[in-house]
Amino acid sequence: MKPAALKQWAKDIAARTVWAYGPDELIARLRRIGVTPGDTLMVHSSWLAHNGFKGKPADLVRALKRAVGEEGLLVMTSMPYHNMSSSQWLARGKPMNVLRSPSMMGLVSEVFRRSENVRRSLSPTHPLLAWGADADAFIDGHEHTDRPFGAASPFARLLERNALLLGFDAPFDTFTYTHFVEDQLEATLPCALYEPALVDGVVIDREGRSRVCPVRVLSPEANRLRREARLIEHLTRSGVLHGGRIGNTRLRWIRAQDHSRESRRLVEAGGHFFDVPKAAAAA
């Protein structure tokens, strides 16, 4: 057997044995990190072949729903594009169809989107999926704000609810809540967070009606100057960003209020997770 095939064989065996865990074990692990019935849980995920989970993505989605219960709320991202910026997506002129546009945020997100009683916000660039007792109230009005991560967006409701933000084999830099933190700290940034001009995005709602939704997109300079590693270091050192494993699955989690508070403390202490533009630094 060739080395690559032998390695694959060993991973297959490990995933079915030493790494194996099921939905009940996952829920028990989530309980230990603080997820309780009635909680708000936002999940970013990657579905990896040898994660050890005994089941399909649909089984994982059902387990996550069970973890928060019908009185809680399960949230995921569902951006309809991948490997491009919001600006590039909008330039294509393709509408975000709330019922038909697939989520490009991974297999678990797409399976969640298709599952029963899931609602999707009407943002043309950053629609959120929600399931639970007040899912409709949570996503309401996303189409009416031009700041997809702003104070009038569902991201602000994650802060109000002190949601637990969880990465399931997904790194911290996939946590879109960080953009809400940046929006709240916009006055402290060394550059504009958003491009100055509004861009029209088209959304097709659940009734099939087409809506034009002007929206702001993150500026290329903000994306270039962001140094998320500094933020990760600070949040970890502050004891609010946690990591662990179950089976062969890496977990990363933080509470929304901890994220917001500690990010602001970093800035107020004279640090930042954005670089100063070279021209401004030299002045």
Task: Mention every residue, 6+ apart, whose C-beta is less than 8 A from residue 263.
Answer: 178, 181, 185, 231, 234, 235, 273
Compute the average pLDDT of residues 163-172. 98
Compute the average pLDDT of residues 143-167. 98
Compute the average pLDDT of residues 50-78. 97
pLDDT tens track for 105-140: 999 999 999 999 999 999 999 999 999 999 999 999
Supply the pLDDT for residue 11. 86
pLDDT tens track for 22-63: 999 999 999 999 999 999 999 999 999 999 999 999 999 999
Supply the pLDDT for residue 238. 98
Task: Mention every residue, 6+ apart, whose C-beta is less than 8 A from residue 108.
Answer: 43, 45, 46, 47, 57, 60, 61, 76, 168
